[in-house]
Amino acid sequence: MNDLKTIDPKSLSLPELHAYLISAVAPRPIAFASTMNDSGSVNLSPFSFFNVFSSNPPIMIFSASRRGRDNTTKDTLENVQKRPEVVINVVNYAIVEQMSLASAEYPQGVNEFTKSGLTEVPSLKVAPPRVAESPVSFECKVNKIIPLGNKGGAGNLIICEVLLMHINTNCLDDAGKINPEKMDVVARMGGNWYCRANMQSMFEIAKPSSKVGMGIDGLPHHIRDSELLSGNELGKLGHIEKLPSPEEVQLVYDMLEVKSLLKYEKDKKSRNTTLIRMAKEKLAAENLELAIRLLMAAG
Ligand SMILES: Cc1cc2nc3c(=O)[nH]c(=O)nc-3n(C[C@H](O)[C@H](O)[C@H](O)COP(=O)(O)O)c2cc1C
């Protein structure tokens, strides 16, 4: 087991606690929120305490915190308290620097669209404009605001219902679905770190099929206790619905690939290791059926 540092949040200063929280709960998507005050001036600020929480109704929540240093509230919060409308714009790599610029603490009434050089486009259902350069924008009404405390650092949940979505067609595939590579979204980590969801960082995991796998506990001990197999490899194997029969396992010895590798292995231990290594390759290639036969043969 790894050594643990166990921390009571009450024992930390607010900046220390904040740093742990935002570094551990990461990456976080960014709501680039456009709001308007009651005299009609526009505000645009990013919030990474944000996510989508419901599809029916379509609900997104972001949190504008009270400032840790002086317990003041942010313009965005004050705006939605007076005019409960917001456009949540998605941030991609092409606008990440402009988004960061818009997060500077400009005085109330300063339009961060102007400061950051982003383009306002009138919304159709709400008063605040959307960001033309964003790949996706959600016009929302604010259903509820829930304050989480009254001290510096306390969040204010701004619960938004999506009334209209605008998706840049450059981000769609031929079937009209959002292509994650074309979106090129960025997310916030701790400190000054961001991350970019491109093909170097994204990978696919097929959803478990409608048939439920037997789980890691259903694998024989020599497989689940093997030091050569990682948790991720066992996780893949746990999707298998039933173990192969002894006859199916025996078939692996007819494979040329297996014969040629095993002919140099003299003792049982090294033969089993070779079979497990081959199974790992098959797992990496998503060939679960052959992987489990090789692993059973290594028993
Ligand atoms: C990427 C990013 C994410 C941020 N996330 C949050 C957040 O979740 N909550 C928050 O209160 N401030 C967050 N901030 C800071 C606000 O954007 C910043 O305080 C801004 O000046 C608030 O603007 P306003 O007073 O015009 O609303 C974030 C800043 C950046 C750059």
Q: What pLDDT is recorded for position 109? A: 84
Residue 6 CA to residue 14 CA, distance in Å, equals: 17
Q: Say how many Å lie between the CA of residue 103 and the centre of ligand 1.
A: 6
| pLDDT digits 0-9 by tens, 171-181 | 999 999 999 99
Residue ranges of the chain whose pLDDT lies below 70: 1
Ligand 1 centroid to residue 256 C-alpha, Å: 61
CA dihedral 46, 50, 52, 57 (to 10 degrees): -80
Pocket test for ligand 1, best of 48, 66, 71 (most atoms within 8 A of CB): 48
Domain ranges of the chain: 9-196, 216-297
Global pTM reads: 0.93
Q: Which helix (H) or strand (E) holds 147?
A: strand 136-147
CA of 57 from ligand 1 middle (Å) equals 26
3-state secondary structure of 247: helix
Q: Relative to the CA of 33, which ligand 1 atom is closest?
A: 27
Fold of 9-196: Pnp Oxidase; Chain A (2.30.110)
- With a 6 Å cutoff on the Cβ, whether 66 touches ligand 1 is no
- 227-239 pLDDT, tens digit per residue, is 999 999 999 999 9
